[in-house]
Amino acid sequence: MAFGASLSERLKHIFARITGSGKLTEVDIKNAMREVRVALLEADVNFGVVKSFINRVSELATGEAVMQSLTPGQTVIKIVHEQLTELLGKSNEKLAISPKPPTVYMMVGLQGAGKTTFCGKLANMLKGQGKRPLLVACDIYRPAAIDQLKIVAKTAGVAIYEEGKADPVKITKNALKFAEKANHDVVIIDTAGRLHIDDALMKELIFIKEIANPTEILLTVDAMTGQDAVNVATTFNEKLDLTGVLLTKLDGDTRGGAALSIRAVTGKPIKFAGIGEKISDIEAFHPERISSRILGMGDVLTLIEKAKDIVSEKEMKALEKRMMQNSFTLEDFLHQFDNLRQMGDIEDIMANLGGALGKNMKMGKLDESQMVRNKAIIQSMTREERRDPSILKSSRKQRIANGSGTSIQEINALLKQFEQSKVLMKQFGGKMAGKMKRGGVF
């Protein structure tokens, strides 16, 4: 997830200067906080939120313990990280589950925020957790809204209830009866949106709320709209008493202001974030991880969760063992590279690892056609060559090039990439394994 890239870069530059100093004065911290203030305001963070945040950080950062610390710059960053996490909500708040099925999630938001798509993402995620979600089409006004919900329902492989252009309140009542008869334990209601908030919309939503008695009322907001998203959240909350917020387009060129303001202004938690176009592109919103991303500290825990969906515990243990024994082969390389590809863009993975590894291993986006050629190269090798590439002299390389339809230059490039990847995978595997062990995964 690319989060507020410009904000992150600015903060990294600001803190790089103070971590480069052996000692810090109150003037140094005051100047740094002034720059942080400007960066946050330009990221469209709410003015009141910025003022409160800067005052709190400044107070903590100019304390005697910080000023006399052997690493005052790092201590200041730790304070900023903790206060950012506090601002974002301390910890992830999970979706509430009704003690008596069905659990009802009422989805609300303005047109264009991505509400209907998020209905599908949420349904897909819950289906993966063993639930039987039912999508309910209550947006009868927007052209093609019902058709769009049908498409996302089909993509997610879940059921949909719709009555065309009937009264949304009646649709809700009938959908709940249908869900009970058909044993759907989760109902997700896609309500109508508007280009702007109006009385007619709010009255309809209030009526649906009274009929559905939802377990959660979730507002979908577009992270790219910045302060406008906060204003929308405030109004919806006043009318409906929201239980949570869903942020879309957090993978785009967003300035990050909405995420940093919504919790502080409304008091409502951000529960999930949309991180891409695919039905599976949904992440639980973890404030501590987000603040780490903003400060360029990486997010290994989110990578672990993605890896657990792709790499089995047994495979992770075996890979770690081969890494420690320096027996990582070209066959392993190709297999793990495929795993990394399923986890997303390599450059994003590097950013989430943070630190020197993230800075030094800029491998860019995976080229699918080159992956095919790399496979052909490795498959044209003998088992001995795959296990010990050091024996690949010019005659062997020429044979492999002829057999794979590639060139010696491409073989050399693959071997260089393999050596880089051994370093990457050893450090990546070490970080992953360490975090997973500490987290009790194995």
**What CATH number does the domain containing 275 carry?**
3.40.50.300
Domain count along the chain? 3
Same domain? For 75 and 165 the reply is: no
Range of the domain at 353: 302-438
Give domain status of residue 409, yes or no: yes
Q: Quote the CA–CA distance of 5 and 185 in Å, as a whole number.
A: 39
Same domain? For 111 and 218 the reply is: yes
How far apart, in Å, are the Cα atoms of 219 and each of 108, 171, 237, 245, 255?
5, 20, 9, 5, 20
Q: State the pLDDT at residue 326.
A: 60
HEC assignment per residue over the chain: CCCCHHHHHHHHHHHHHHHCCCCCCHHHHHHHHHHHHHHHHHCCCCHHHHHHHHHHHHHHHCCHHHHCCCCHHHHHHHHHHHHHHHHHCCCCCCCCCCCCCCEEEEEECCCCCCHHHHHHHHHHHHHHCCCCEEEEECCCCCCCHHHHHHHHHHHHCCEEECCCCCCHHHHHHHHHHHHHHCCCCEEEEECCCCCCCCHHHHHHHHHHHHHHCCCEEEEEEEHHHCHHHHHHHHHHHHHHCCCEEEEECCCCCCCCHHHHHHHHHHCCCEEEEECCCCCCCEEECCHHHHHHHHCCCCCHHHHHHHHHHHCCHHHHHHHHHHHHCCCCCHHHHHHHHHHHHHHCCHHHHHHHHCHHHHHHCCCCCCCHHHHHHHHHHHHCCCHHHHHCHHHCCHHHHHHHHHHHCCCHHHHHHHHHHHHHHHHHHHHHHHHHHHHHHHCCCC
Per the structure block, which two tokens stand in for 220? 């979908």
Give domain status of residue 174, yes or no: yes
Same domain? For 380 and 409 the reply is: yes
Same domain? For 204 and 308 the reply is: no
Q: State the pLDDT at residue 62.
A: 83
Query: Which residue, 34, 63, 88, sits at the end of a domain?
Result: 88
Give domain status of residue 95, yes or no: no
Encoded amino acid at 2, one letter = A
Q: Is it true that the peptide bond before 102 is cis, omega within 30 degrees of 0?
A: yes
Q: State the pLDDT at residue 3.
A: 52
Same domain? For 281 and 209 the reply is: yes
Give domain status of residue 292, yes or no: no
Same domain? For 276 and 129 the reply is: yes
Give domain status of residue 293, yes or no: no
Q: Quote the CA–CA distance of 431 and 332 in Å, as a whole number.
A: 18
Q: State the pLDDT at residue 4.
A: 52
- Averaged in consecutive runs of 10 residues, what is the pLDDT profile of the chain (442 residues)? 65 80 80 90 87 92 72 81 87 91 95 92 95 96 93 96 95 97 97 85 94 96 81 91 89 65 89 88 86 65 51 61 66 68 54 44 53 86 90 94 93 87 60 46 32
CATH of residue 365's domain is 1.10.260.30
Give me the phi and psi of 50, to 5 degrees please. -60, -45
Compute the radius of gyration of the chain from its Cα atoms.
25
Q: Quote the CA–CA distance of 10 and 24 in Å, as a whole number.
A: 20
Same domain? For 358 and 246 the reply is: no
